Amino acid sequence: MPSALALRPAEDRIAAAPDRPDWTDAAVRAATEAIADGPLSAAAAEIDRGAYPLDILGRLGSAGALGVHLDRHGARIGLSIAAMQAASRACGATGFLMWCHDVCGLYLEQSDNPALSGAVLDAHAAGRTFGGTALSNPMKAFAGIEPILLRACRVPGGYRVSGMLPWVSHIGPGQYCGAIAGVVGAGDTISHEIMFLLACDQAELRPCPHFSGMEGTSTWGVRVDDLFVGHDAIIADPARPFISRIRGAFILLQCGMGLGVTEGSLDAMLAVEESLGHVNQFLEDRPDTVAAELAELRARVMRLAETPYDGSTDYLIDVLDARAQTSELALRASQSALLHQGARGYLMSAAPQRRIREAHFVAIVTPAIKHLRWEMARLSRETLPQSEGGRA
């Protein structure tokens, strides 16, 4: 299912990174599309039920789809989003795993820690090793939504960390994730936060309750008790300035998931247009409407991807809004696809019912729609000029 929307950027500005001449834009696009159309499409239902597609992720990594967003490979954030869109079009769970992997690579590279940004990052970017992100709780804690759950105490040579995170994805034995802990200071208060690479073999992984879908994301509860975190594992100390610097890229990369689920839903609508178009014409969110909105939104995301580390408030608000729009469009498109297909789309083996659940995940994964709107409202209040005399 070749896609002009997913894999045809307006221009090939960067042919390849010097250390990976095989990862040209064209080669990454072609390989990602072949994987998405072939083995990933065939495995999507099984992944939804619980199969963890490390073999497919390894192929995506070898093709460059998990590393081209990194500075060392050309900082091609737009190409990374397009690759994620292509995968999510076939399987939303795999698109989410790509995002987890991508942002973990971002942490390693931006850490400036030689112990993390050398051979460790090279293996990660090529899909030879795998790791995710444990930042759902910290991101909400930084927004004032909930307390931070991991706590650290300073000790000679590093920190000791304890606590429990209820769910972390794209992890397992022999894998790792980026995590954040609050450092307990005087009076049992949090003085600041640290970010570190958590090796899963040093933690207790606890099974999560069954979710309604996307079970193949290898999501676990993570508990650590008095875990020593040395300087070689530190990503950022303090963590908040680091998060502020990468936050735009962190959120923008997620747009690939929503764009892909939307495009897959559009495929499902078009698949029944010849046989059911005469009655589907009375539905809202018809294929031409969804296609036009998808193209416009994708173009907006790609423009934002040209400056992923723009630290301005206006830029961050634009990123947050684009991310919210991708969630909302995925929700509308997936519902419309099921209505377009009718009973055949409601079968448990059918892609439209799976995409309904994938779209809801896109809308609730951190930052969820409500979190995005919360942040946009807060940032807008901070940037609005104060009116004289207390009147607007």
pLDDT in tens, 243-291: 999 999 999 999 999 999 999 999 999 999 999 999 999 999 999 999 9
What is the rounded end-to-end Cα distance, in angstroms, of the chain?
53
Structure tokens at 90: 């076939």
What pLDDT does residue 384 have? 65
Give the whole-angstrom CA distance, residue 358 versus residue 341. Answer: 17
Give the whole-angstrom CA distance, residue 23 versus residue 16. Answer: 5
pLDDT digits (tens, 9 = 90+) for 137-195: 999 999 999 999 999 999 999 999 999 999 999 999 999 999 999 999 888 899 999 99
Is residue 47 predicted with pLDDT exceeding 90? yes
What pLDDT does residue 187 have? 83
Rounded mean pLDDT of 20-36?
96
Helix axes 54-62, 92-110, angle to 10 degrees: 60
Rounded mean pLDDT of 213-234?
97
**Model pTM?**
0.93
Q: How far is CA 388 from the centre of its chain?
A: 42
DSSP code for 331:
H
Is residue 333 predicted with pLDDT exceeding 80? yes
Structure tokens at 18: 């010097």
Is residue 100 predicted with pLDDT exceeding 70? yes
Structure tokens at 163: 């606590």
CATH number for the segment(s) 4-130: 1.10.540.10
Name the pLDDT band for 98 (thresholds 50, 70, 90). Answer: very high
Domain borders along the chain are: 4-130, 132-239, 242-383
Helix ranges (DSSP H) in the chain: 4-7, 25-35, 41-49, 54-62, 77-90, 92-110, 114-117, 119-125, 136-142, 240-253, 255-271, 273-280, 287-304, 313-341, 343-346, 351-364, 369-383
CATH number for the segment(s) 242-383: 1.20.140.10
Is residue 4 predicted with pLDDT exceeding 50? no
Q: What is the mean pLDDT of the chain?
A: 93
Structure tokens at 345: 């789309």
Whether residue 238 has a cis bond before it, omega within 30° of 0: yes
Rounded mean pLDDT of 44-69?
98
What pLDDT does residue 62 have? 98
DSSP code for 211:
P
CATH number for the segment(s) 132-239: 2.40.110.10
Q: Of residues 86 and 212, which shows the higher confidence score?
A: 86
Sign of the alpha-carbon torsion through 168, 170, 173, 179: negative
Q: Is 336 exposed, middle or buried, given 0-12, 13-18 or 19+ CB atoms closer than 10 A?
A: buried
Q: How far is CA 156 from the centre of its chain?
A: 35
Q: Of residues 13 and 104, which shows the higher confidence score?
A: 104
What pLDDT does residue 386 have? 53
DSSP code for 284:
S
Rounded mean pLDDT of 302-314?
97
What pLDDT does residue 155 have? 97
Beta-carbon contacts of 373 under 8 Å, excluding residues fewer than 6 positions away, are 324
The one-letter amino acid code at 104 reads C
Is residue 323 predicted with pLDDT exceeding 60? yes
Rounded mean pLDDT of 312-327?
98
3-state secondary structure of 215: helix
